Amino acid sequence: MARKLFGTDGVRGVAGDLLTADLAVSLGRAATLQAAAEHPRVLVIRDTRESGEMLEAALAAGAAGAGAEVLLGGVLPTPAAPLLVRRYGFDLAAVISASHNPYQDNGIKFFAADGFKLSDDTEAAIEARLDDPVAPPTDGIGRIRAFHGTQEDYLRALHTRFAALDLAGRSILLDCAHGATYQVAPEIFRRLGAHVDVIGDAPDGRNINDGVGSTHLDALAAAMRDGRHDVGFAFDGDGDRVLAVDRTGEIVDGDELIALAALHLRRAGRLGGGVAVTVMTNYGFHTAMREAGIEVAITSVGDRYVLEELRARGWALGGEQSGHVIDLGFCPSGDGVATALLTLEALADGDLAQRSAMDKLPQRLVNVKVADRDAAMASAELAAAIERENGELEGRGRVLVRASGTEQLVRVMVEAPSPDETDAVCDRLVDVVRQTAGV
């Protein structure tokens, strides 16, 4: 049966529709059979969605049915998976989460024994096994057990890395998106001495990312304008991303967080080369890095492509405007909590509102819902409009129009010297996308 389940970040879709219990069983079985070990040890963690327990049970059953020893780590941020894989020598880890998507969605992504996400080839091999005849394992069925102490393991790793960071006297506001960071994020900031207030820390299975988190910053920004906190951080549902808000309520995106980190790590002698970012990264970032003498590599959108570039070049730091920041000096995955702490480490006694790592070119990003993202992108009319607008902005700004890797969206991004020109160009392109897509 021809199919393509794996996207840029695992298998993702509406729970109970695309992502059924049957599919989770099959994925657990196929991933276990694809693992190199004869009797794989498999870690499973999840976020707070109501479908997480069902998918956790199904995936674990599939893996155990193929002979794996499965350990259930409970609710944890995605970056805990590679850290635990490396600490305890797991052969495979599965994270059940749909990141910043609404609660109705869920997803399954895998990490290999080296702590890195599976390659495209390995994911294709797993997918090819889904329709294989089911045969009982020759050496017996595996077992499923609870794995206790995982939160403390993750907190210990963070505390060890940031042991020198003294947050005494700092007032921090965290938005945990009712997601996987709701317990660990406040705890590590308090352990490092900060006064911490939290929103989005009461998950009920359905409120994950609902008006809160890194994709819904209004509540955090409004709270920051009250003047009671020095800095705010908003995580996404699975905790691999973070955005910041300064004390004036201004949003600080991933580009600025990466710029702060790059300059800080270079001063500390820990940058380890240049920085890898995606095509979405603001022009101002490139200007700042050029002036600082830091090399920049550009990749396609998606943390897996940033990670591939870092590994190929032997560099440590990279990320995306969305707040997905990878520091291989700590973890082979984006880690929102670690990035927030790295930001405070970079600021030292400074104020985020007075940051000066880069000057951003005005940018606007619009996500246009379409029925078929690939068909919309194939439009000759859209291609002509993109070429025309890029020509008008040559040397002054840029246009980027791309299909989402996980949703039926066409993303239109424009950078221009002024906000008015940025808006005008973006509006014209959005209109073309909607007309060609029949929206």
Closest-CA residue to 252 (of 273, 234, 264): 234
Considering only 42-46, 60-64, 67-71, 299-303, which range has the smallest mean pLDDT? Answer: 299-303
**pLDDT tens-place string over residues 185-197:** 999 999 999 999 9
- 271, containing H or E segment: none
Report the percent of the chain where pLDDT is more than 70.
Answer: 98
Is 227 in the same domain as 375? no
Whole-angstrom Cα distance, residue 167 to residue 88?
A: 30
Closest-CA residue to 117 (of 144, 146, 89, 85): 85
Is 65 in the same domain as 203? no
**pLDDT tens-place string over residues 262-276:** 999 999 999 989 999
Q: Which two tokens stand for residue 231?
A: 């800095």
Is 296 in the same domain as 261? yes
With a cut of 50, say whether residue 254 has pLDDT above it.
Answer: yes
Asked if residue 268 is part of any domain, the answer here is yes
- The number of distinct structural domains making up the chain is 3
With vertex at residue 72, the alpha carbon angle to CA 207 and CA 82, rounded to the nearest 5 degrees, is 85
What integer is the mean pLDDT of 348-362? 94
Domain final position from 148, 169, 190? 148
Asked if residue 206 is part of any domain, the answer here is yes
Q: What's the pLDDT band for 136 if we cut at 50, 70, 90?
A: low
Domain final position from 125, 148, 171? 148
Is 122 in the same domain as 99? yes
What integer is the mean pLDDT of 384-399? 91
Closest-CA residue to 333 (of 353, 351, 362, 310): 310
Q: What's the pLDDT band for 438 if we cut at 50, 70, 90?
A: confident
Closest-CA residue to 13 (of 118, 97, 93): 97
Q: What is the domain-level CATH number for residue 407?
A: 3.30.310.50
Question: Which stretches within 227-370 are classed as H helix?
Answer: 254-267, 283-292, 303-313, 336-347
Is 190 in the same domain as 89? no
Is 179 in the same domain as 124? no
With vertex at residue 69, the alpha carbon angle to CA 67 and CA 72, rounded to the nearest 5 degrees, is 135
**pLDDT tens-place string over residues 69-99:** 999 999 999 999 999 999 999 999 999 999 9
Q: Cα dist. 161→119, 178, 198, 330 in Å?
A: 28, 25, 23, 7
With a cut of 80, say whether residue 135 has pLDDT above it.
Answer: no
Burial class (CB in 10 A: 0-12, 13-18, 19+), 125: middle
Closest-CA residue to 146 (of 48, 90, 70): 70
Asked if residue 287 is part of any domain, the answer here is yes
Active site residue 99: yes
Considering only 278-282, 422-426, 427-431, which range has the smallest mean pLDDT? Answer: 278-282
Asked if residue 74 is part of any domain, the answer here is yes
Instruction: Provide the 10 A C-beta neighbour count for residue 409.
Output: 18
Is 56 in the same domain as 80? yes
Contact 49/97 with Cβ under 8 angstroms?
Answer: yes
Is 108 in the same domain as 195? no
Kindly give, in sequence order, each residue whose CB lies less than 8 Å from that of residue 203, ignoring residues fewer than 6 positions away.
Answer: 48, 178, 179, 182
Q: Cα dist. 143→52, 61, 62, 71, 93 in Å?
A: 20, 9, 11, 8, 15
Asked if residue 1 is part of any domain, the answer here is no
Is 347 in the same domain as 369? no
Q: What's the pLDDT band for 3 if we cut at 50, 70, 90?
A: low
Whole-angstrom Cα distance, residue 118 to residue 91?
A: 12
Whole-angstrom Cα distance, residue 159 to residue 173?
A: 19
With a cut of 80, say whether residue 137 has pLDDT above it.
Answer: no
Q: DSSP letter for 369, please.
A: E
With a cut of 80, say whether residue 439 has pLDDT above it.
Answer: no
Whole-model pTM? 0.89
What integer is the mean pLDDT of 344-365? 94
Q: What's the pLDDT band for 211 if we cut at 50, 70, 90?
A: very high
Q: What's the pLDDT band for 49 if we cut at 50, 70, 90?
A: very high
Is 11 in the same domain as 71? yes
Whole-angstrom Cα distance, residue 410 to residue 119?
A: 25
- Domain housing 411: 363-437
Cα-based torsion angle of the residue sequence 325, 330, 331, 337 in order, rounded to the nearest 10 degrees: -50
Amino acid 269: pLDDT: 94
Among candidate residues 99, 214, 322, 333, the one labeled active-site is 99
Is 335 in the same domain as 380? no
Asked if residue 321 is part of any domain, the answer here is yes
Which stretch, 2-6, 54-58, 393-397, has highest mean pLDDT?
54-58
Whole-angstrom Cα distance, residue 322 to residue 111?
A: 22
Amino acid 138: pLDDT: 64
What integer is the mean pLDDT of 319-344? 96
Q: What is the domain-level CATH number for residue 217?
A: 3.40.120.10
What integer is the mean pLDDT of 221-249? 97
Asked if residue 185 is part of any domain, the answer here is yes
Domain final position from 97, 126, 148? 148
What integer is the mean pLDDT of 217-245? 97
Kindly give, in sequence order, each residue whose CB lies less than 8 Å from that of residue 267, ignoring residues fewer than 6 positions away.
Answer: none
Amino acid 1: pLDDT: 39
Is 377 in the same domain as 343? no
Q: Cα dist. 50→25, 47, 108, 177 in Å?
A: 18, 9, 14, 15
SS (H, E, C) 168-221: CCCEEEEECCCCCCCCHHHHHHHHCCCEEEEECCCCCCCCCCCCCCCCCCHHHH
Asked if residue 95 is part of any domain, the answer here is yes
**pLDDT tens-place string over residues 305-327:** 999 999 999 999 999 999 999 99
φ, ψ of residue 342 to 5 degrees: the values are -65, -35
Contact 413/282 with Cβ under 8 angstroms?
Answer: no
Report the percent of the chain where pLDDT is more than 90.
Answer: 88
What integer is the mean pLDDT of 364-386? 94
Burial of 274-305, coded b for 16+ CB within 10 Å and e otherwise, reads bbbbbebbbbbbbebbeeeebebbebebbbbb
